A and B are shown apart, each in its own frame.
Chain A
Amino acid sequence: MRGELNARIGRTMPSPMYGLLVAQHDRSSDGVGEFAVPWREWRTARPVAVLLGGLVLALWPHWIYMARRMVDGSDEPWGILALATVLVLVARDRAELSVPTRSALVASAALAVVAATASLVLPDLAAAAVAMLALSFFLVHALPRRPATPLVALLLLALPVIASLQFYLGFPLRVFAAHATSLVLALAGIDTSAAGTAILHQGITVLVDAPCAGIGMLWVGSYTAALLSYLARSDGARTATNAVAAALLVLAANVARNAALFFPEAGLVQWPAWSHEAIGLAALALAVVPIVLITSRPSR
């Protein structure tokens, strides 16, 4: 069946719906262990690589912008991990690469033009997002048997979004974390109250400031969910469900982390300095385990 499909891919230009159908068909396999593809299969990927190279070259101003953001200290360089993951996944699935349909190529090129135009009127980050969509569009159609949504999610995570997430999402997350943590502590019998992003206890203030908002955990959770959704060949709806579940689990884990760290920070207990990091990682593990179980769950 797979050989037949490959032959068809080489001959015809499948529609996105077709790719989705293939992904549905191949869902039983998680794809691990497919690196043992013979070198000759790169030859079939060569035209795709040339086209991809052209697209990447056309989008160079956006890469320059992203590289600058990564090195000048204005954002975290975490996007490199998502980008590297996409490269590894594409290399891993190179046997399935095929030249996208003409309409997909035209659409990718059109998105590249939109990205170039957008950089004149929109913020650089928005223009880079459009560039990532152009790249996503190409890759999704070059890998029609692989799930589209996780790939798009990984490429969007490659953008320098941490500073923007902190700016726009950080404060609501901090308010939520402070109030939820205060509630948890109150349930545990600790006399606390929340005021804005602060937790108050007998004249002591413990602040849920920007580094405590959970943005880092949220990024790691989203990345894990996107990667595992790709490996599990999850469709769009399933990927979205996985992403929402991951976000909720991470938010809960962040509250648990804040509640545990409140004790040493408020001076109620004296714990060694390394315990701070250990508690944070333990809380993240509480979120990651169910994320892995949910995203790896076989579809109905």
Chain B
Amino acid sequence: MPGTLLRRAASIAVLAGCAMLSPLAAQERPPADLTRTLSPYFVVDKAEPGVDALPLKATRVDVKVNGVIADVRVTQVYRNEGNTPLEARYVFPASTRAAVYAMRMRVGERAVDAEIREKQAARREYETAKHEGKNASLLEQLRPNVFSMAIANVMPGDEIAVDLFYTESLVPTEGTYRFVFPTVVGPRYNGAAGRESHQAEGWVAQPTLRAGEPARHTLAMKIEVNAPLPVQSAASPSHRLAVDGLGSRTARAELAAAAEHANRDFVLEYRLAGREIASGVLVHEGRDENFFLAMIEPPARVASSAIVPREYVFVLDVSGSMHGFPVETAKALLRGLVANLRPTDTFNIIPFAGGHSLFAPRSVPATRENVDAAVRFINGQRGSGSTELLAALRGALAMPSGQERARSFVVITDGYVTIEKEAMDLVRASLGHANVFAFGIGSSVNRFLIEGLARAGRGEAFVVLNERDAAIEADRFRAYIESPVLTKIAVTFRGFDAYDVDPPQLPDLFAQRPLAISGKFRGAATGAIEVRGTTSTGTFFQSVDVAGARLPAADTKALGVLWARSRIATLGDYQKIAPDSATQKEITELGLKYRLLTDYTSFIAVDKVVRNPGGAQAGVEQPQPLPEGVSELALGEVPSTPEPEFVSMTLLAGGLAWWLRRRRRGGRDAR
């Protein structure tokens, strides 16, 4: 008995000691986000019994395009088919130009319109509602093209639909309008904690489905195009699509609900009949502010007779996410690009993954021998390993160059990294007089990085969806480089009191597309917008009469949010912003004033009804499918040699044993 008492006393002392020491231990622990490496991971099914780990059941997209403005409603339907209340979280992609201006949560018959709040305030409001047991939804921006949705207190059997509304302008390139709706966030490489390729952002650690597994939710889409001229052709290079109304001014396309649709960007391309009036102005006269959006037709591309010797540095991503189809597409593209070079050009190739190497110590002339050697070098590349983009870019930008040559960097990647803004800042700071052209390779590339690199590098962005398009894009690139459409562009306003014009400085125009200028104006919408620039044959001047070139549009209310989105992109999308800087404050004010989702403003909707007293609930992350064509190596998996399936092994061993013993016995019987 005394022994028992002694043991109990000792146990209590140990427990008390632990309790007293635990706060000290907690203080000693460094913040989790600084020490954890956050990376995508493969999902484990039914990890928690009774919890519906796949609450997002469907995504429906309704698109209406009026002229050059697309208005999009995305409806996400969440349903809890388990027996435990849920907090559902879903990270999803968006168009890089999407101006998200509203959100609505529908619980049964009730609908709650979301409010725009500063990000931290919205987060606090959401957490409060969550703990109070109320239905709440929070929409946050993680990147200009990556959003997250959180839905609290989804009770067993509940169905909650969240509508989000966005608008974007569609500018035709080479006469083709392109509407893109991304469906999946590709698995991002996030280097080890403490490295420059690492971002301490929890969303990167996404549950991901195995290669070949379709998404766990369906995707359906309806698109209506109302154009000023008849729609001549419309097709999707990404999805099988039925289109009605070709030849009329209203065309409709529909994609039936299916999970198989949700593992790649949806792309609709259409052209209008006849020669479109490319120059024109859209105007919205509001109560407090007036907005305009001008589209200025550029000159036709003229082949240049002057041959300027150029140096090309190709930076090729051969990381694990590029393994297989993407790297083969990239290789086809690069072979086309190298084969298109002139003998007077020089070039070099920098393949990169965890490290990077060089095709040659210095750029070499594009002679037949060098091109052949480069093709062999390209063919020998395989996709595996990590994606240390910054180190590769730094190495490329630091390469010595001949002063007499115009230099172009060509980055070929899927863009599955977390350091987009760091890469853009690096390009902007180290580029000098060179240009950067970015090629996104694959079915669901990170368009934010691709477009941002091109923007920072005063170049052009290309997206190659498949190997078939590689040759076409290589030819386009050559045409762009040899004969830019318009350079040194300057815009002036005569008799038109425009202000807060965006972009403040138009970059060189390589592709054949209208110059898009948005801004505010005072007074009457009269006067002219004048554009000057340089073409390969001389100077260019065009004057557009604001009153006379008014474009037809059913509704121009979207011009305000489109201008604000464009302004926010100029201010902050493509560069790192110091916390609490004036720029951050300006973006926040723009977000709150124009009710726009930004890096610093979020949408929050809270229902009044308490559904889940106590607020106890399981948190689940909706898994992402692997983008079409992307291998499991994208999640940092190193190639390995797993054993055969157990059933196959036992069947083989059993069959062999039976057969051999039968033979032996047969032999014995014969003797």
Task: Decide yes or no whether A281 CB sits under 8 A from chain B.
Answer: yes
Nearest B residue (CB) for A231: B661
- B649 neighbours in A (Cβ, 8 Å): 216-217, 220, 280-281, 284
Do the beta carbons of B648 and A206 come within 8 Å of each other?
no
B665 close to A30 (CB less than 8 A): yes
Interface residues of A in 199-238 (CB under 8 A from B): 203-209, 211-212, 214-217, 220-221, 223-224, 227-228, 231
From 607 to 666 in chain B, residues with beta carbon under 8 angstroms from any chain A beta carbon are: 638-646, 648-650, 652-654, 656-657, 660-661, 664-665
Complex interface: chain A residues within 8 A of B598 (CB): none
B384 at the A/B interface (Cβ < 8 Å)? yes
A261 contacts across to B, CB distance below 8 A: 641
CB proximity of A196 to chain B, nearest CB, Å: 12
Take A207-B639, A265-B641 as given contacts and tell me if A288 and B661 are in contact as well, using a CB distance cutoff of 8 Å. no
Please tell me if the beta carbons of B382 and A257 are within 8 angstroms of each other in the complex.
no
B643→A211 contact, CB < 8 A: yes
In-complex Cβ contact of B660 among A257, A281, A292 (8 A): A292
* Main SS class of interface, A: helix
Encoded as 1 (CB less than 8 Å from any A CB) or 0, chain B from 363 to 400 comes to 00000000000000000001011000000000000000
Task: A262 to B642: give the CA distance in the assembly, Å.
Answer: 11
A214 close to B643 (CB less than 8 A): yes
- Contacts A220-B649, A277-B645, A285-B656 known; A30 to B638 CB distance under 8 Å? no
Check A207 against B643 for contact (C-beta < 8 Å).
Answer: no
A215 to B650, CA, bound (A): 13
B641 touches A284 (CB 8 A): no
Residues of the A chain whose Cβ atoms lie less than 8 Å from the Cβ of B643 = 211-212, 214-217, 254, 257, 280
Q: How far is the CB of A228 from chain B (nearest CB, A)?
A: 6
Tell me if A78 and B646 are in contact (CB < 8 A).
yes
Contact call B644/A277, Cβ cutoff below 8 A: yes
Expressed in whole angstroms, the Cα–Cα distance for A284 and B641 within the complex equals 14
Asked if residues B644 and A266 are in contact (CB atoms below 8 Å), the reply is no
Contacts of A265 in B (CB 8 A): 639-641
- Give the A-B contact count at a CB cut-off of 8 A: 102
Q: Is A93 located at the chain interface by the 8 A CB criterion?
A: no
Q: Are A205 and B653 also in contact (CB < 8 A) when A32-B665, A76-B646, A277-B648 are?
A: no
User: Per a CB cutoff under 8 Å, which of B638, B640, B653 touches A211?
Assistant: B640
Give the CA-CA distance A261 to B640 in the complex, in Å.
Answer: 8
A284 cross-chain contacts in B, Cβ below 8 A: 644, 649, 652-653
Expressed in whole angstroms, the Cα–Cα distance for A292 and B646 within the complex equals 19
Complex Cα–Cα for A212 and B638 (A)? 12
Considering the complex, give the chain A residue whose CB is closest to the CB of B657: A292
Q: How far is A79 from B250 in the complex, measured between Cα atoms in Å?
A: 65
CB distance from B639 to the nearest CB of A (A): 4
Assess whether A123 is interfacial by the CB under 8 Å rule. no
A155 part of interface (Cβ distance < 8 Å): no
The digit string for A26-48, where 1 denotes a CB below 8 A from any CB of B, is: 00001010000000000000000
A292 and B642 contacting across the interface, CB-CB below 8 Å: no
What is the minimal beta-carbon distance from B597 to any residue of chain A, in angstroms? 39
A277-B648, A288-B653 in contact; A32/B641 too (CB < 8 A)?
A: no
Contact B382 A220 (CB under 8 A): no
Interface residues of A in 122-159 (CB under 8 A from B): none
CB distance from B268 to the nearest CB of A (A): 33
B479 to nearest A CB, angstroms?
34
Known: A266-B639, A280-B644. A296 touches B653 (CB 8 A): no
Q: For the complex, what is the distance from the CA of A228 to the CA of B660, rounded to whole Å?
A: 11
- In contact, B656 and A281 (Cβ under 8 angstroms): no
Q: How far, in whole Å, are A133 and B437 apart by their CA atoms in the complex?
A: 71
Whole-angstrom CA separation of A174 from B570 in the bound complex? 53
Q: How many whole Å from A296's CB to the nearest CB in chain B?
A: 6
- The residue in B355, B385, B653 that gathers the most chain A C-beta atoms within 10 A of its C-beta is B653
Please name the residue on chain B nearest to A218 by beta carbon: B643
- B residues 76-135 near A (Cβ < 8 Å) are none
Chain B nearest CB from A254 CB (Å) reads 8
Is B641 in contact with A257, judged by CB distance below 8 angstroms?
yes
Residue A3 CB within 8 A of the other chain:
no
Q: Which A residues are CB-close (under 8 A) to B646?
A: 76, 78, 216, 220
A267 to B631, CA, bound (A): 14
How close is B358's CB to chain A, nearest CB, in angstroms? 14
B657 & A224 in contact (Cβ 8 Å cutoff):
yes
Q: Given the complex of chains A and B, what is the CA–CA distance between A102 and B660 in angstroms?
A: 41
- Across the two chains, which residue of chain B brings its CB closest to A199? B641
Partner of B638, one of A76, A207, A257: A207
A289 on interface, CB distance cutoff 8 Å:
yes
Q: In whole angstroms, what is the CA distance A215 to B649 when docked?
A: 12
- Give every chain B residue within 8 A of A203 (Cβ-Cβ): 355
Given that A81-B650, A277-B645, A281-B652 are contacting pairs, would A204 and B657 also be in contact in the complex, using a CB cutoff of 8 Å? no
**In this complex, what residue of A is CB-closest to B659?**
A292
CB distance from A80 to the nearest CB of B (A): 11
Residue among A204, A209, A215, A288 making CB contact with B640, cutoff 8 Å: A209
Q: Give A63 Cβ to nearest chain B Cβ, in Å.
A: 21
How far apart sit A292 and B661, CA to CA, in the bound complex (Å)? 8
**In angstroms, how far is the closest chain B Cβ from the Cβ of A91?**
18
Identity of the chain B residue whose Cβ is nearest the Cβ of A257 in the assembled complex: B641
Which residue of chain B has its CB nearest to the CB of A213? Answer: B643
Distance of A266 Cα from B657 Cα, bound (Å): 34
Closest-CB distance, B299 to chain A (whole angstroms): 47
Q: Is there contact, CB below 8 Å, between B644 and A208?
A: no
A285→B664 CA distance, assembly (Å) = 17
The CA-CA distance from A292 to B664 in the complex, in Å, is 10
Q: How far is the CB of A272 from chain B (nearest CB, A)?
A: 14
- Taking the complex as formed, is A95 at the interface, i.e. its CB lies under 8 A from any CB of chain B? no
A32-B661, A224-B657 known; A258+B652 contact, CB < 8 A: no
Q: Which residue of B lies closest to A76 (CB)?
A: B646
The distance in angstroms between the C-alpha atoms of A66 and B652, with both chains bound, is 26
A257 to B644 CA separation, bound complex (whole angstroms): 10
Q: Which of A30, A227, A281, A289 contacts B644 (CB 8 A)?
A: A281
> Smallest CB–CB gap between A206 and chain B, Å?
5
What residues of A have a CB within 8 angstroms of the CB of B382 in the complex?
204, 267
Which chain A residue lies CB-closest to B383? Answer: A267
Q: When the two chains form their complex, are residues B661 and A30 in contact, meaning their CB atoms are under 8 A apart? A: yes
Max count, chain A CB within 10 A of own CB: residue among B355, B643, B649, B661:
B643
Contacts of B648 in A (CB 8 A): 277, 280-281
B657/A228 in contact, CB under 8 A: yes
Is A111 close to B, CB under 8 A?
Answer: no
Enumerate chain B residues within 8 angstroms of A211, measured Cβ to Cβ.
Answer: 640, 642-643
**A203 to B642 alpha-carbon distance, docked (Å):** 21
Cβ of A121 under 8 Å from chain B? no
What's the least CB distance linking A99 to chain B, in Å? 32
State the Cβ distance, A175 to closest chain B Cβ, in Å. 14
A214 to B640, CA, bound (A): 13
Question: What is the CA–CA distance of A207 and B657 in the complex, to the nearest angstrom?
Answer: 32
What is the minimal beta-carbon distance from B621 to any residue of chain A, in angstroms? 19
Residues of chain A within 8 A of B653, CB atoms compared: 220-221, 223-224, 284, 288
Considering the complex, give the chain A residue whose CB is closest to the CB of B44.
A73
Distance A206 CA – B649 CA, assembled complex (angstroms): 23
Q: A284-B644, A284-B649, A285-B656 are in contact. Are A296 and B638 (CB under 8 A)?
A: no
Contacts of A76 in B (CB 8 A): 646
Instruction: Report B546-557 CB contacts with A as 1/0, cut-off 8 Å.
Output: 000000000000
A169 CB, nearest partner CB in chain B, Å: 14
Q: Which residues of B contact A293 (CB under 8 A)?
A: 660
A163 to B594, CA, bound (A): 57
A238 to B556, CA, bound (A): 90
Closest CB pairs A-B (n = 5)? A280-B644, A211-B642, A261-B641, A265-B639, A267-B382
Q: Please give 4 more A-B residue pairs, beta carbons under 8 A apart, in addition to A265-B640, A296-B664.
A: A206-B640, A208-B640, A285-B656, A296-B660
* 9 residue pairs A–B, Cβ–Cβ below 8 Å: A76-B646, A205-B639, A212-B640, A212-B642, A217-B643, A267-B639, A277-B644, A288-B652, A296-B664
Residues of A within 8 A of B (CB): 30, 32, 76, 78, 81, 198, 203-209, 211-212, 214-217, 220-221, 223-224, 227-228, 231, 254, 257-258, 261-262, 265-267, 276-277, 280-281, 284-285, 288-289, 292-293, 296
